[in-house]
Structure 1
Amino acid sequence: MNKRLFKYSSIILLLGLVFAGCKDLEDMNHDPTKANSTPTSTLLSNAEKSAMDFLYNGLQNGRIGMPYAQYWAANDKANDSRYLLDEGINNSLWNSFYANTLRDLEEIIRLNRSHTAQEETANQIAIASILKVWIYQILTDCYGNIPFKSTMQVATNITPEYDDAKTIYTALIDTLQNQVKLLNVAQPSFKSGDIIYGGDVAKWKKLGSTLLLRMAIRMVDADQAKAKSIIEANYMNAISSNDDNAVFQYLNTAPNKFPYNDSERGLTEFFVSGTLVDYMKSVSDPRLPIFARLPADASITDYVGMPYGTDAANPNRKGQDKYSIPGKRIYAADMQGILVTYPEVAFILAEAAARGFSVGGDAATHYKNGVTASLNYWGITDQPAVDNYLTKVPYNAADWRNVIGSQKWLALYPQGFQGWFERTRLHFKKPGGADLFIAPVDPSLDQNVTVVPYRLTYPVSEQQQNKANYDAASQAIGGDTKGTKLWWNKF
């Protein structure tokens, strides 16, 4: 693994040089019998890294995902926590996935199908297709209806139509089901370039099944019968331990450091929210010293979260040395970019069992597995400590939504976008029913949102450059506002 990772900075640099010369290359005559393209391994490593870089940097994750999940509260730009969306950041999120990650993955598929890949294999197509599903689900869960069918026809269609989000889900589920079947452990895949799994086909099969579980549980309140069928058909083949986690391991070496880290400068843009800190303190959560740090003021000996959505001019706001910032591990240069981990799978199965689905165990067992696996992931492996924590957050079948929801939310930290999606989807509170989340202390700056956005508004660039299709999409979803609920959100 280390040898593969050591190589990918030079690979990414090579990819940049290749793309920089594309215009000149288009004017040259090529021998049609010879391959003249970027290696698929290079495209894969670039796609994986570009996706993780945008999901975990201080802009998209820090300014959107983490505050919308109410994990963090903004320090330097307090309006982020009051839902004033920065359009540059929003536009970058949209464009980076379409123009970078999805284009690279589509090129892998094209090269394999046109027989110009260095190693033509069905496994390469399947792996690229699974990653495409991952990205498209994030996009449609952020915005609702999005360009889907025509997005890769850039040369002929620069104003793509938007597709219905529910229809996109159906297509993504079909893709996952088909590609998981096509993955063949007896055939080669990627000899290099795969930072997530090192080309291990068996693990990619597990990831495909796991993403099916994620999609199914997200749509469970909109179509329970279909969700039940998908979960029951795929849970046995999904990730079943932390050994199978789908993660992108960053390195403490530029340019391959975690996209938002404090190895070169101190970071004070964000505080851990009072919502997160106060709840974790109330249950003596052993992950708190990992998720947060003690305030810089040495006289303060306990963790202190920033009350969520506090305006910079609020007279009750303390100095920045009085609040906890995210933990050292969260800001480590060699932190992992998380695609999905076993704790999430365990909580999906716990919820499925609580809803009466047949998933090879009861809800209490899957819940215990999820809590334990999350603690283990963060290095808390002492069994007495794990058992002690479980006594403080016991499973309660009569209150399953709040019990599972609150622990799944903790386990998803620092996956801001997934934490936000699950917050709005499951609509959970603290165990017992008391509110966990709060509206911004100083009111929302978006007239359509009081407590939490349900989606992101479409980028302004779409309104300007693709207006007809933007207008149609906006009307189809019920209005382009952050208060518009997505098709799967029934609360």
Structure 2
Amino acid sequence: MLNRIIKYSCLLAFVGLVMAGCRKLDSINHDPTKSTTTEPPYLLTGAEKSTMDILYSSLQNGYIGMHYAQFWSGNTRVADSQYSLDENNNGALWTTLYAAAHNLDLIRTLNADGANPAAQNQNAIAGILKVWIMQILTDAYVNVPYTQALDVTKYVTPAYDDAKTIYNQLTDSLTANINALDASKPTFGDADVIYKGDVNKWKTLGHSLMLRLAIRMADADNAKAKSLIEANYQGAMTSNSDNAEFAYLGADPNRYPMDETNRPIIDFYVSTTLTDYMRETSDPRLTIYARPVEGLTTDTIYGMPYGMSTTDPNRPTTASYPGTKIYGADMKGILMTYSEVAFTLAEAAARGYTVGGDAATYYASGVRASMNYWGVADSTANAYLAQVPYMSGDWKNVIGTQKWLSLYPQGFQAWFERIRLNFKKPGGADLFIAPVSGSLDQHVTMVPYRLTYPIVESNSNSTNYAAAGSAIGGDNKGTKNWWITY
């Protein structure tokens, strides 16, 4: 793991330098574990960009996240829709996220001498981003290296931590970093692509990420989830103006990863799961999430049955590709939006938590925020809400479907929410289906609950890798995370 983290850390330092300017390019030639190699702003920019790049890459988001959320199905390559995991894509996700977390940790090391007046806020912002990244890792893989993971000079083969213990440490870390933020002190400035160093915005994001952590554990530890949400909801996002996004510039080297400016992306079709439900409810986002099939003049958006083999005689000859905005060079990398917060608070209210409002109001706010994000008029959003009203007796399915739709194209977060809530359509009919042509994995038929550990870990960290697989009950996609209780 050490060699791979150092390799990717060098890459992140380089990315940060490119985006921030051409100053001190010689720093990328030095050992990234040394405090003289670079500066905190470069490390922050590089970590933000590399994480967004991997989370919205067609290789990771396209073939893993968007497939497991069942937003997309494969075109010529369908094995991913049938749960065959490409090890190159899996390994790159793991190593890139760890490298980004390592560089965020390095910011604190660089600031340890007390000479930087912006150190307090820089450390806190880096700490919030590290929590975001580590939650993705533990949600995707369950037990992962955490306590020993980032000190690569001391722990060449880090031990894996228990996923629930990691969650407890993440909530503690997030609380400490939120409290450390001080708007009266210097910060990052433009090196922070997400919020331009706005300390108040970072504080808002910190509270919002706490809601994400808390609601994910609601079924497994209701008391703690309730306590965390009630303590943080007032500081969380209240509108789309608070959204946390990485703004790509739309030109090399800073284009959105799934960008078809230079070539059409034909790897994926939208799934019938997505298109049929959106058509069923007259969802105005359908024409944004998917594009018309070429050559048709009426009723032109059609999905591909999920996981259908290219040799299946019933397979359609063509289907709709994802919408052009999703593949735009200047599409933003989404870290979190207000619609997610609103739906989280709707669920919290439905569970009986005290969150300053009722479930129906938060639910409507979540739908409107998602519509607003995609440019849908308020009048159209209101008409849509009449088609999909909040129903308290069916809150899990009502909130679950709309939160899922609002998370498009955040494949990984939508997948995590799908397996957490196990929701159906409002009323109880099945929304998701198993791959039409069958799973290629003996451990899972409907949806993977996790990613298997990358093969590189079995080679470079074999003892801890084997212990981790045993501790969770088997290193396979059918093993459930601690916060899944059904």
Q: TM-score, normalised by structure 1?
A: 0.93
| Deviation (angstroms), 1:192 | 2.7
Give 3-state SS (helix, strand or coil) of 1:438's partner.
coil
Aligned residue pairs total 472
In 2, Cα distance between equivalents of 1:244 and 1:63: 29
Kindly provide the amino acid, as one letter, of the partner of residue 389 in structure 2: P
| Deviation (angstroms), 1:181 | 0.9
In 1, Cα distance between equivalents of 2:28 and 2:362: 49
Q: Deviations over 1:379-404 (max 9, x none)?
A: 01x23211110000000000000000
Give 3-state SS (helix, strand or coil) of 1:407's partner.
helix
What is the aligned partner in structure 1 of residue 217 from structure 2? 219
| Deviation (angstroms), 1:313 | 1.1
What is the aligned partner in structure 1 of residue 58 from structure 2? 58
Q: Where in structure 1 do 4 or more consecutive aligned residues deviate above 4 Å? A: 12-20, 23-26
Percent identity over the alignment is: 54
What is the aligned partner in structure 2 of residue 406 from structure 1? 401
What is the aligned partner in structure 2 of residue 102 from structure 1? 101
What is the aligned partner in structure 1 of residue 29 from structure 2? 21
1:11 to 19, 36, 56: 19
Maintained 8 Å contact 1:291/1:326: yes
Cα distance change, pair 448–475 in 1 and its aligned pair in 2 (3 A): same
Give 3-state SS (helix, strand or coil) of 1:212's partner.
helix
1:61-460 map, 5 Å: 61-99=61-99, 101-115=100-114, 117=116, 119-299=117-297, 301-319=299-317, 322-380=318-376, 382-460=377-455
In 2, Cα distance between equivalents of 1:285 and 1:424: 23
Give 3-state SS (helix, strand or coil) of 1:429's partner.
coil
Maintained 8 Å contact 1:18/1:38: no
Maintained 8 Å contact 1:83/1:446: yes
Cα distance change, pair 398–199 in 1 and its aligned pair in 2 (3 A): same
Give 3-state SS (helix, strand or coil) of 2:333's partner.
strand
Cα distance change, pair 456–255 in 1 and its aligned pair in 2 (3 A): same
Kindly provide the amino acid, as one letter, of the partner of residue 357 in structure 1: Y
Maintained 8 Å contact 1:294/1:300: no
| Deviation (angstroms), 1:132 | 0.2
In 2, Cα distance between equivalents of 1:388 and 1:55: 33
| Deviation (angstroms), 1:52 | 0.1
In 2, Cα distance between equivalents of 1:420 and 1:350: 19
Kindly provide the amino acid, as one letter, of the partner of residue 59 in structure 1: L
Cα distance change, pair 202–467 in 1 and its aligned pair in 2 (3 A): same
| Deviation (angstroms), 1:24 | 12
Cα distance change, pair 191–451 in 1 and its aligned pair in 2 (3 A): same
Kindly provide the amino acid, as one letter, of the partner of residue 337 in structure 1: G
In 2, Cα distance between equivalents of 1:203 and 1:163: 31
| Deviation (angstroms), 1:9 | 7.3
In 2, Cα distance between equivalents of 1:175 and 1:8: 25
In 2, Cα distance between equivalents of 1:16 and 1:254: 21
Give 3-state SS (helix, strand or coil) of 1:113's partner.
coil
| Deviation (angstroms), 1:15 | 8.7
Kindly provide the amino acid, as one letter, of the partner of residue 384 in structure 1: S
Maintained 8 Å contact 1:12/1:46: no
Cα distance change, pair 63–116 in 1 and its aligned pair in 2 (3 A): farther
Cα distance change, pair 297–220 in 1 and its aligned pair in 2 (3 A): same
Kindly provide the amino acid, as one letter, of the partner of residue 360 in structure 1: G
| Deviation (angstroms), 1:120 | 4.0
Maintained 8 Å contact 1:249/1:337: yes
Give 3-state SS (helix, strand or coil) of 2:58's partner.
coil
Cα root mean square deviation, aligned: 1.8
Maintained 8 Å contact 1:15/1:42: no
Cα distance change, pair 58–188 in 1 and its aligned pair in 2 (3 A): same
In 1, Cα distance between equivalents of 2:112 and 2:329: 38
What is the aligned partner in structure 1 of residue 7 from structure 2? none
Cα distance change, pair 25–172 in 1 and its aligned pair in 2 (3 A): closer
Cα distance change, pair 314–11 in 1 and its aligned pair in 2 (3 A): same
Give 3-state SS (helix, strand or coil) of 2:50's partner.
helix
Give 3-state SS (helix, strand or coil) of 1:59's partner.
helix
Q: Which runs of 5+ in 2 are unaligned?
A: 1-14
| Deviation (angstroms), 1:97 | 1.0
| Deviation (angstroms), 1:25 | 12
| Deviation (angstroms), 1:106 | 1.0
In 2, Cα distance between equivalents of 1:13 and 1:481: 43
Maintained 8 Å contact 2:20/2:191: no
Cα distance change, pair 60–385 in 1 and its aligned pair in 2 (3 A): same
In 1, Cα distance between equivalents of 2:385 and 2:84: 38
Cα distance change, pair 300–16 in 1 and its aligned pair in 2 (3 A): farther
Q: Deviations over 1:416-466 (max 9, x none)?
A: 000000000001000000000000000000000010000000011111221
Q: Deviations over 1:230-277 (max 9, x none)?
A: 000100000110000000111111110001111111111000000000
Q: Deviations over 1:147-182 (max 9, x none)?
A: 001112212321110000000000000011111111
Kindly provide the amino acid, as one letter, of the partner of residue 95 in structure 1: T
Kindly provide the amino acid, as one letter, of the partner of residue 76 in structure 1: T
In 2, Cα distance between equivalents of 1:350 and 1:128: 29
In 2, Cα distance between equivalents of 1:52 and 1:24: 21
What is the aligned partner in structure 1 of residue 45 from structure 2? 45
In 2, Cα distance between equivalents of 1:155 and 1:134: 24
| Deviation (angstroms), 1:296 | 1.8
Give 3-state SS (helix, strand or coil) of 2:73's partner.
strand
| Deviation (angstroms), 1:477 | 0.5
| Deviation (angstroms), 1:22 | 1.4
| Deviation (angstroms), 1:112 | 1.1
| Deviation (angstroms), 1:299 | 4.8
Cα distance change, pair 10–159 in 1 and its aligned pair in 2 (3 A): closer
In 2, Cα distance between equivalents of 1:203 and 1:66: 28
What is the aligned partner in structure 1 of residue 11 from structure 2? none
| Deviation (angstroms), 1:23 | 5.5
